[in-house]
Amino acid sequence: MTMSLRQTNLDKLRELQFDVLIVGGGINGAVSAASLAARGVRVALIDRGDFSSGVSSNSSNLAWGGIKYLESHEYLLVNKLCKSRNHLMKHYPSTVKEIRFFTTIARGFRFWPFFVFLGSVVYWLIGRCVMKAPRYVSARALEKSEPVINTSRASGGLEYSDCYLYDNDARFVFNFIRGSLNYGCIAANYVESIAAIRTDGNWRTTARDVISGESFTIRSTAVVNACGPYVDALNNMAGQHTQYHHLFSKGVHLIVDQITDNLRVLTFFASDGRLFFLIPMGPKTCIGTTDTQVDTPAVSVTDEDRDFILSNANALLDLDKRLTREDIIAERVGVRPLARKGRGGVADWVELSRKHEIEVNEEDQYLSIFGGKLTDCLNVGNEVADKIFRLGIAIPYPDKKWYGEPGEELRDEFMLQAHLMHLDSLTDASSSEPLSERFWRRYGAAAFGLLERIREDESCAELLIETSEYTRCEIELAARREMIVKLEDFIRRRSKIELVVRKEDILKAPGLREASEILFGEQAEERLREYMEQG
């Protein structure tokens, strides 16, 4: 029963002829699908893993205007990213939230604190002053308002605003996939593109269902390659030659117990001179990141990465007990796919522009998306639709708005209904926010169904796994609407449980079995075993 949405879509992938097949369900693929489907284009999307199982579940979760690019004088890029950030914030008020970046500058740093502060004022101006203004913070004031910071080497600091994704990146991405399904996109996870040929003006993609091992053909007029770090690999397979290619920079984050209960990002410059963040992640803190040039996108966290992050955190903070590897609750690792024209290395690696490029092969009706950022995702969606239109594919509803949370009126109605049934009084004491806020942010209009369920049976509002911020009725909803194939899809990506609860505690949680039963019915035991064996 639980796999029916995926099964139905697998059948349709075989049967139908599509205008566009999108390969890759990270942020770039997800926004392409949402943008095209809402405009009435017949779209299919496949990902060889779960949706957002690649880079898009391993970012820093920031939607930011790129303050650091001011140092390399890339004002146009900063302007563009600030605009994108503001646009996201406006249309996702409960998801993309303003947060203060509390920045410490050490003595001997390449700029005086006041100069960095002036930079943040320029940044604020470029950002159209939509957020709280920056402020200068003296070394003394730093110590006073955030005693956890080691101020022995601080010469001063500043506080400025940017945005972060309140839930996490993978959830944000999934909501675009979910949106595309509402408009008729046929999407399936765990389906890999293993070959593609173009005959008689049509693409025939050989797809493999990774779960059953079966192969079948998907027919489409155009193909959008949104494989992130694997864009070049897919192009090689499809015989596509491009001007752009990817270079890779590996980035690691570690999650530890909460460092400070002030809801702000602590910002430093690490020993390598790069920005270093301590970012709130629900009830925990996410620390990172590293930036290492690598040749291949298949990466894992090494002891060297862990030690770099832990030793920097220990040096920059004034902790009662130094952080060690035992304190790590969860780890995130991914490569930034950096768009680069031509082949070969670059002289200035760190300053390589982090812009996206969409390359089009008009004759073959084939698009490749290089680079990109979560922050810039709405532009990517719009540009892909524009380029698909120019290829001669009909766009029935060109002006349809395809993104954003439902409007104020629906939100007010939801909040009123929630209020009248005293929903928030059912919030577990360990939760970081009232149930009504969380339901609305995660599910939008579908959250009305949760109210219905809780009216029927109040126990549906109970947490299934301690401190997980996930109630029974949300898991029921996920089973129907979120195409969860493996337990990890739910625990690591639709939710962020695996990022904020230690794996051994998840495995011990009495609610885990029940969650698995709700999600997988008869296959619950098998999926549970698979998850436990994953290490």
Ligand X SMILES: Cc1cc2nc3c(=O)[nH]c(=O)nc-3n(C[C@H](O)[C@H](O)[C@H](O)COP(=O)(O)OP(=O)(O)OC[C@H]3O[C@@H](n4cnc5c(N)ncnc54)[C@H](O)[C@@H]3O)c2cc1C
Q: How far is the CB of 274 from ligand X (least distance, A)?
A: 12
- Write the CA distances from 39 to 20, 33, 91, 184, 396, integer angstroms: 12, 10, 18, 10, 6
According to CB under 6 A, which one of 2, 9, 22, 28 is a site residue for ligand X?
A: 28
Task: Pick the closer one to ligand X by CB: 195 or 394.
Answer: 195
Strands 135-137 and 202-209: unpaired
Find the shortest distance in angstroms from Cβ 25 to ligand X: 5
156, 179, 372, 381: residue in contact with ligand X (rule CB under 6 A): 372
Tell the residue number behind the tokens 């039963």, with chain if given: 517
Q: How far is the CB of 28 from ligand X (least distance, A)?
A: 4
Site for ligand X in 92-121 (CB under 6 A): none
103 vs 150, which CB is nearer to ligand X?
Answer: 103
Site string for ligand X, 184-223 (x = CB under 6 A): --------xx------------------------------
373 counts as binding ligand X under rule CB under 6 A: yes
- Of the pair 58, 220, the CB lying nearest ligand X is at 58
DSSP string, 161-221: EEEEESS-HHHHHHHHHHHHHHTT-EEEESEEEEEEEEETTEEEEEEEETTT--EEEEEEE
How would you write 207-274 as a 3-class SS string? EEECCCCCEEEEEEEEEEECCHHHHHHHHHHHCCCCCEEEEEEEEEEEEEECCCCCCCEEEEECCCCC
> How crowded is residue 434: how many other Cβ atoms within 10 Å of its Cβ?
15
Judge contact between 164 and 97, C-beta under 8 A: yes
Kindly state the smallest distance separating residue 356's Cβ from ligand X, in Å: 8
Q: Near ligand X by CB under 6 A, which window of 226-234, 261-269, 307-315, 492-500? A: 226-234
Cβ proximity to ligand X: between 44 and 473 the closer is 44
Q: Which is nearer to ligand X, 296 or 425 (CB)?
A: 296
Any contact of residue 84 with ligand X (CB under 6 A)?
A: no
Write down the least CB distance from residue 61 to ligand X, Å: 6
The residue among 30 and 478 lying less far from ligand X, judged by its C-beta, is 30
* Rounded-to-integer distance, Cα 458 and Cα 479, Å: 19
Query: 56: which 2 tokens?
Result: 């898009």
Give CA 327 to chain center in angstroms: 24
Per-residue binder mask for ligand X (CB under 6 A), 44-83, x = binder: --xxxx---xxxx-xxxxx---------------------
492 CB-near residues (< 8 Å, 6+ apart): 57, 170, 498, 499
Q: Given the complex with ligand X, which of 113 and 229 has the nearer CB atom?
A: 229
* Single-letter residue type at 514: E
Find the shortest distance in angstroms from Cβ 251 to ligand X. Answer: 2
Window 374 to 403, contacts with ligand X (CB under 6 A):
374-375
Rounded to an integer, what distance in angstroms lies between the CA atom of residue 327 and that of residue 224? 42
228 interacts with ligand X by CB under 6 A? yes
Q: Is 486 in the site for ligand X (CB under 6 A)?
A: no
Cα-Cα-Cα-Cα torsion 345, 351, 356, 359, nearest 10 degrees, comes to -30
Decide: residue 497, CB within 10 A, 0-12 exposed, 13-18 middle, 19+ buried.
Answer: buried
Q: Does 511 bind ligand X (CB under 6 A)?
A: no
Select from 41, 106, 224, 226 the one that contacts ligand X (CB under 6 A). 226
Site residues (vs ligand X, CB under 6 A): 23-29, 46-49, 53-56, 58-62, 192-193, 226-230, 234, 251, 289, 334-337, 372-375
